[in-house]
């Protein structure tokens, strides 16, 4: 049984916070899992991450950006995700294929079908079992990252972020089987409780 769980949402929506809480609970239960973040997670993917996030790389085109994300994803999938899934472990991803649809598709205007084809190519047709989309207003997300220095992807402006937020909501509406749209305004613990309930329902007898 495949156990791939992904977390999505605009920057500052609370993905990493919730993943930390899920991992803590998995640890407490003694469950085997691997947690990764995109872009990154392998030696080569981390190098690609630097190119993607460095602010001086202003001339990077939307197509090149998109392919670099996919290259990092292909490496991460082959090197880490698929081996862990084959061992029967849970894999928890901080961003995955839906980030390409949301950011490069809805955000930058690239063709969604092309991006889906690239997603399938990079992941060897690996689809998440369950995807939590943490939804939050752009202004709230921005206010949360006050002290953090923004990277290239986070410097796209409010309108860009707004398109991404709308894109995630559209994805969630299109496939309620895989996506769960979560309210990112909830307190960390409250949101975690909802996420945990959904996980328990999905993996009955395991969690
Ligand atoms: N439910 C919440 N309520 C209030 N603040 C929160 C909540 N969840 C996370 N935060 C805070 O908001 C900030 C961003 O959270 P987090 O790093 O988890 O978001 P993220 O989605 O991983 O962002 P990024 O895409 O930039 O990695 C952090 O300072 C975190 O402590
Ligand atoms: Mg994060």
Instruction: Note whether residue 66 is domain-resident.
Output: yes
Instruction: Note whether residue 118 is domain-resident.
Output: yes
Q: Which residues pair with 5 in a beta bridge?
A: 92, 130
- Ligand 2 mean position to 121 CA, how many Å? 25
Stretch (H or E) spanning 50 = helix 43-53
Instruction: State how far the Cα of 193 lies from the Cα of 62, in Å rounded to an integer.
Output: 37
Instruction: Note whether residue 207 is domain-resident.
Output: no
Q: Atom 25, ligand 1: which residue's CA is nearest? A: 11
Instruction: Note whether residue 139 is domain-resident.
Output: yes
Q: Atom 15, ligand 1: which residue's CA is nearest? A: 14
The bridge status of strand 4-8 relative to strand 130-135 is parallel
Residue 89's CATH number: 3.40.50.300
The model scores a pTM over 0.85:
yes
Instruction: Note whether residue 63 is domain-resident.
Output: yes
**21 conformational bin, left if phi > 0, alpha if psi -120 to 50, beta if neither:** alpha
147 pLDDT tier (thresholds 50, 70, 90): low
- Ligand 1 mean position to 145 CA, how many Å? 8
Count of domains for the chain? 1
Instruction: Note whether residue 51 is domain-resident.
Output: yes
For residue 130, what are the domain limits?
Answer: 4-202
Instruction: Note whether residue 115 is domain-resident.
Output: yes
Instruction: Note whether residue 15 is domain-resident.
Output: yes
- Which structure tokens are listed for 148? 């953090």
- Which structure tokens are listed for 29? 């239960």
- Encode pLDDT of 92-145 as tens digits: 999 999 999 999 999 999 999 999 999 999 999 999 999 999 999 999 999 987
Alpha helices in 77-148 (DSSP H): 82-86, 97-99, 112-123, 138-144
Stretch (H or E) spanning 44 = helix 43-53
Ligand 1 atom at minimum distance from 37 CA: 27
3-state secondary structure of 83: helix
- Encode pLDDT of 168-181 as tens digits: 999 999 999 999 99
């Amino acid at each position: 049984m495949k156990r791939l769980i992904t977390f999505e949402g605009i920057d500052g929506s609370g993905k990493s916070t919730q993943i930390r809480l899920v991992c803590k609970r998995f640890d407490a239960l003694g469950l085997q899992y691997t947690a990764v973040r995109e872009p990154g997670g392998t030696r080569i993917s981390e190098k690609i991450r630097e190119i993607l996030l460095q602010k001086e790389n202003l001339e990077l085109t939307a197509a090149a950006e998109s392919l670099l994300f996919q290259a990092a994803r292909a490496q991460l999938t082959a090197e880490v995700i698929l081996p862990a899934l084959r061992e029967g472990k849970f894999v928890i991803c901080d961003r995955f294929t839906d980030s390409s649809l949301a950011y490069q598709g809805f955000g930058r205007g690239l063709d969604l079908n092309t991006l889906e084809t690239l997603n399938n190519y990079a992941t060897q047709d690996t689809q998440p079992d369950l995807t939590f989309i943490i939804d939050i207003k752009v202004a709230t997300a921005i206010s949360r990252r006050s002290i953090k220095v923004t990277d290239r992807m986070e410097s796209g402006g409010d309108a860009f972020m707004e398109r991404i937020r709308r894109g995630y909501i559209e994805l969630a509406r299109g496939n309620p089987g895989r996506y769960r749209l979560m309210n990112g305004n909830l307190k960390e613990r409250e949101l975690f409780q909802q996420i945990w309930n959904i996980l328990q329902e999905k993996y009955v007898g395991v969690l």
